[in-house]
Amino acid sequence: MKELILLLANEKATIALGHRLAYLCKQCVILYLYGDLGAGKTTFCRGFLQGLGYQGHVKSPTYTLVEPYLLTPHPVYHLDLYRLTDPEELEFMGIRDYFNWQAICLVEWPNKGEGMLTYADLELYLLYDNNGRQARLVALSTYGEMVLEQLS
């Protein structure tokens, strides 16, 4: 399955989608998150991290650009590149350490890091839809397709 559209009626539904995806992403995965400010990208990441058993506070990496969560078996790197002015800066941030074969990367505003990021397994597009959100998931790898298959 290459694409899946879901309606998320409220914040709880966004969190729940994060939970379910975290559960399915037992291998490492690279997820790109698209959507306007306030669309729910960070909310989704909160659900994802909670789904992996993380119980602490999930803050938005808007200013730090990256928040690492050194969970086992896979560390999670939550990136928000909204404030990145030049993709080259990612090199100095040590981006290569994040996009390794055993990490999970959740990337908000991946378009800001164009040319410097590894290809994603899955893309999540969040759109405002009345009082809720529409989520469109697109698989870009066979692993991503398998995850969508299981999610549907």
Interacting residues toward Mg ion by CB under 5 A:
41-42, 60, 108
Cβ of residue 42: shortest distance to Mg ion, in angstroms?
3
Selected range binding ligand ADP among 22-30, 34-42, 63-71, 96-104, rule: CB under 6 A: 34-42
Does residue 40 belong to the site contacting ligand ADP (CB under 6 A)? yes
Instruction: Annotate each residue in 91-120 with x if it binds ligand ADP (CB under 6 A) or - if it does not, as one string.
Output: -----------------x------------
CB atoms within 10 A of CB 109: 20
Q: Which is nearer to ligand ADP, 87 or 132 (CB)?
A: 132
Cβ of residue 146: shortest distance to ligand ADP, in angstroms?
25
Cβ of residue 81: shortest distance to ligand ADP, in angstroms?
12
What is the spatial distance between Cα 131 and Cα 52, in angstroms, rounded to a whole number?
28
Residues that bind ligand ADP (CB under 6 A): 8, 10-11, 13-14, 35, 37-43, 60, 108, 131-133
